[in-house]
Structure 1
């Protein structure tokens, strides 16, 4: 395993920040994927606690570059994406 320091995650999603901090999803749905996520967050609690979670303020810093790339890809017709 790699020991990458500092461990920082930037997100513009308040829900994701809450899920990581609380190690619990806020969904009332009985979704098996969300349940797996909760089990993972609780099992890896010590590791998760070492990750600094920073809110990415889109108004100040602009869109997160990865989000911007996904928006561009989604806006291009599928056949054009496959040709690239």
Structure 2
């Protein structure tokens, strides 16, 4: 069993996805989360535990997802929050 367990929020694309694949490549365990788990089918196929998580959910829902990860691997050694969005434009257009 790998010693590192990565819990990645926002693993369906971008940095979260890249970190997930790199951790798996290194032999670590990965818990990949996003609002839409179907977007992470390739991470699941590569060996990640894929779970649905919406960071805007209530505390109990978020804690339940963390508990599933701990139940699966016994611990979490790395927690990455890669969920988010970008708003581009000048200050006048974006405010």
Scaled by the length of structure 2, the TM-score of the pair is: 0.33
Higher helix share: 1
Scaled by the length of structure 1, the TM-score of the pair is: 0.36
Higher strand share: 2
